[in-house]
Structure 1
Amino acid sequence: MPSFGERLAYLRNQRGLSQAELARLLDVGQSTIAMYEKNKRSPDHHSLIRLADFFGVSTDYLLGRIDQPHANEHEGVKGPPLDEKLWSVATDPLFADLLRQVPDLAGEEKQSLAEYWELVLQYVRRRKGRRQERN
């Protein structure tokens, strides 16, 4: 059965992330990720949960207690916990730091951000449409 470190390295590589990129996204040191992957250090409870949430797997999977990455698959329900497009945005270096700040916002601030984001997306779509019309 793969160790915690082997599973972490596998998940990181599946996302196409270096140790440094993963460390930056999780706001930890690269050496921390390296030590985890070499099984020379184990994450604390909070860090284990953050890793599981980041990769969309259960803590039981990371710890080697089950072989199914997703708890819901273990229970017979198929499908990833988050859609692949959402993961690609969450792990994109352009957005990861911004997204990390969203939980610190109040409800009204989150609503304002969502409204602003929608306006910007509409603007981007209009510009894209105009460019396509010209071509």
Structure 2
Amino acid sequence: MNQGQKKKPRRSQVVDAKVFVDRVKLLMEGKGLTSSELADRADLARSAMTLFFAGERKPSADAVVKLAQALGASTDFLLGVSDESKSEELLQHPKVAELVRLFLSLSAKEQDRILEMVRLFCKTSVD
């Protein structure tokens, strides 16, 4: 292998176990769940959760999906690919939550019109 080439991570190295465990624990804390309760909600063996948390086993893709669904998060967030927490904080703002709720109640055509109006508004307010 040339020095300039990056070594492709092995499949088992794709998931950063520490990031995964930290994020699962963070979301568990926020929801007031124990690892046993989370395992039950995600339909996973409690022993699997113990192994994940100990860093002795990495989760399968299926386990990541189940945990994400049980925690109300994205798989990307659990795997450290994205920082979903920023969008979650934004949705806690009452005005943003209302805008999202109202926007989602519109038809696709109406949503497109609203987006165009907002873009136009932003363009004229900056100038």
TM-score, L = length of structure 1: 0.47
TM-score, L = length of structure 2: 0.49
Highest RCO, 1 vs 2 (Cα 8 Å, sep ≥ 6):
2
Larger Rg: 2
